[in-house]
Structure formats: C-alpha cells, structure tokens
Structure 1
Amino acid sequence: MADSRVIVDDGDAGLVLTVLPGVGYTAEGPVLARPAEALRAAGWTVRTVVWDGRPDFDVARRVYAEVLRDGVAAAPAATQLVLAKSLGTLALPVAVELGLPGAWLTPLLTADRAPEVRDAAAGLGTSGVPGLLVGGTADGLWDGGLAAASGARVLEVDGGDHSLEVDDDPERTARALDDVTAAVGDLARVARGL
C-alpha cells in the first residue's frame, strides 16, 4: 500500500493552496509545479501531497478527502484553493462539498472507476464553487463536451495529451503551460474575491 505525507511551504496563513498529484505525475511535473510556484511567489502557503509508492483509487480517494478536510479544519478562515492532476481529481466531489475552489487538471471524466468525478465536474458550474477544468483533446480521459456543458471555466489544449503536452510541438506545449499557469492565477484571484 502507498503511504503519503503532506509537505508544507509556509506563506501567508490566510492563503492556502493544496496540491494533489496524479499517480505517475508528481507535483514536480510542470503543470502542477509552475502554477504552484507562481502562487508560492505571490505569498500563498502551499501544501503538497507526496506519495511513497503508487496509490490505488480507493487509497487516493480516502487520503485526498482527509487532506482537504484537515486543511479546512486547520485554517477555517483561510482562502483555500485546490490544484489537482488526474488521480488528484478524485477529490473534486469533496472539494465541492467543502466549498473549495479548484483547478482540476486532466480530470478523470471517462474513467469507469471514477463516476463521482464525472458527476461532480458536470455540475461544477451550478455548484456555486469556482472551478477550472483543464484537459487535452488527445487525452482519452478528457470529455470536452461534458466540460463545456458543466458551466465551469474550461481550458482545452488542442492536441494535448494526459500531461497536457502536444506531441512533437514544444512551442504549443510551452504555451499550454503558460495558459494553465495564468488560468490557475485567475482562479486564485476569484477565490480571494478580487
């Protein structure tokens, strides 16, 4: 069984970003690392889940729910934001339940083992919780139609794979990374009420 820990980079205690990585895509991957670094530089406290081993869906669901609930309990008055990639998007229903805005990168919209993610994403726009859905058209786990109909803000990377990289096109991949970082920054401003 995979174990996890939360690493905290202290910043403003009133601004808390929680980073939930995927199975094979750690928080050091660029689409998580770059937006997290931008918010860290803007003063946010950054809480990052790190896995020792490869978690399965059930373990990830439990751990990510606990991490979000613990974060709210530890700083109930703080502005909180979730930045999640792939397996990390298993936390989307809990985030909505807790009223936490989130950037959901390459969410598991077509995964048979994650129907709750699909359902929560589909209703994100009407939940009252600010959200951003980000996916690539070359990612088999992305459902652009569902995302577009969700009412949430959507960033779709044409030709982007599950890492939001565009095959054989480093310039488009770099632009996609810039776009993701900017969109997460915009969501952080919305979360703060700015």
Structure 2
Amino acid sequence: MAPQQSLKQPPQQSSQPALLEVATHDGDSDRVATVLPGRGYSCEAPLLHYTRLLLRTRGWTVRTVRWPIPPTPEQLLDLAPDLLDAMHARTHLVVAKSLSTRLLPLAVQRDLPGIWLTPLLREPAVRDAAELAGAPTLLVGGTADPYWDADAARRSGQQVLEVTGADHSMEVAGNVGASLQALQKVLAAAGDLLDDLP
C-alpha cells in the first residue's frame, strides 16, 4: 500500500481548504474505486471496510480517503477535482457514505458509477442527481435512517437496497444478528453492481 499523501493543508479556519489524505492499494489500473467516508463514519467502519475488501479481492485499485476534520459542504465541493478527477481509468467507481454522497451530482456529471451508502436523499441536489444518473448506481439505506427517503430512492429508477430497521450506520439497534445480515445484504448488492461494470 502506498503511503498516505496530504493533498491539501490542514484548515485553520472553515474558509480554508480541508485536509485530504488518500491511501492507494494498487490493483488493476483500469478499474479504480475511490472510497469516501462520512462525517463520523471512517473507511475503517464496517460498511466501507468490507466494501474495500470486496473490491481488493476482485483486483481493483482502491483509493481510501480520510479527513481528520470533516469538510464543510463547500470544502467538499472544492475537493471534488482531487476526489473524482485524479484517476484516469476505464472504470472509476465512487463508493461514498453519508456526507460524501453530496458529491453525487458531480459524479453524475462525470458519468461515474457509484455505490451510495445512506445517501442524503432529503437534500434536493442529491435526490435530483440520483434520478439523472446514467452509469450503474446503487442507493443503500435503512428504514430507521432519518436521512433516507425511500420514495425518492424508488423514483430514481436506480438499483436500490433498503434494509428494514437499519439506521444511518446500516445497523439494526439492539440486534447484532440483523446488523450482520444487513452488512451481508449491502456487500451482495455491491457485488451485483460490480458484476455489471466493465
């Protein structure tokens, strides 16, 4: 694995650029996945950790993004070129959790396939982008997640996985078995999307 690289300087104030660290696990240079964390949900947490593992076992190059301080919405948009345009591959897949799903409109503009975990579909820009996506797109949410909009997900026409009782971490409160089953469902749906990609 390549060492982490700081692409921007740490912010001293909210108006300054956010710190962005990218670690790359080399695989097939024609298939690259960029994995983006949520505000408090790192790439070491179950959904993103096992999705990265799935990608690596299938031979993908995997770029793991970390930020010590989560970016503001404006900072996240400023980071988009580093996040979405830094790799030139036949297939560039975006795997994003929560906060990072605000990049869905920009991914759609670039015709990038995506796995959008607990997307912020109650935000109009994210919801509208989901409906416009032309590349393979998977939307994943749970019925106990206040940020999930099941109607918007279904209307989008995209691949949708909705897990009954799952919260914003895609876990079922007080039920370890159901939480593990939810994780298995997410990985199975992600695997199906990967099967559709070149």
Same fold (TM over 0.5): yes
CA distances 1:31-85 after superposition (whole Å, capped 9, x unpaired): 11101111101111001111021221111222134310122xxx24x22211110
Kindly tell me: are residues 65 and 173 of structure 1, through their superposed partners in 2, closer, same or farther at Cα, counting changes over 3 Å? Answer: farther
The match for 1:90 is 102
The match for 2:129 is 120
TM-score (norm 2): 0.87
Do residues 170 (structure 1) and 176 (structure 2) align?
yes
1:101 to 113, 137, 161: 113
Following the alignment from structure 2 to structure 1, what is the Cα–Cα distance between the partners of residues 77 and 143?
Answer: 26
* Identity fraction in percent: 48
Amino acid at match of 1:85: K
Do residues 70 (structure 1) and 86 (structure 2) align?
yes
What 5-or-longer segments of structure 1 have no aligned partner?
none
Amino acid at match of 2:71: P
The match for 2:163 is 157
Aligned residues: 182
Q: Higher relative contact order at CA 8 Å, sep ≥6: structure 1 or structure 2? A: 1
Do residues 139 (structure 1) and 145 (structure 2) align?
yes
Q: Secondary structure at the match of 1:26?
A: coil
CA distances 1:3-41 after superposition (whole Å, capped 9, x unpaired): 112111111111111101111001111111101111101
Contact 2:108 2:132 in 1 (8 A): no
Amino acid at match of 2:126: V
Q: Secondary structure at the match of 1:52?
A: coil
Do residues 45 (structure 1) and 51 (structure 2) align?
no
RMSD: 1.3
Following the alignment from structure 1 to structure 2, what is the Cα–Cα distance between the partners of residues 160 and 66?
Answer: 32
The match for 1:34 is 50
CA distances 1:124-154 after superposition (whole Å, capped 9, x unpaired): 3xxx211000001111110000001110000
Following the alignment from structure 1 to structure 2, what is the Cα–Cα distance between the partners of residues 151 and 54?
Answer: 31
Amino acid at match of 1:50: R
TM-score (norm 1): 0.89
2:135 to 100, 105, 129: 129
Larger Rg: 2
What 5-or-longer segments of structure 2 have no aligned partner?
1-10, 12-17
* Deviation, structure 1 residue 180: 0.7
2:31 to 15, 29, 34: 15
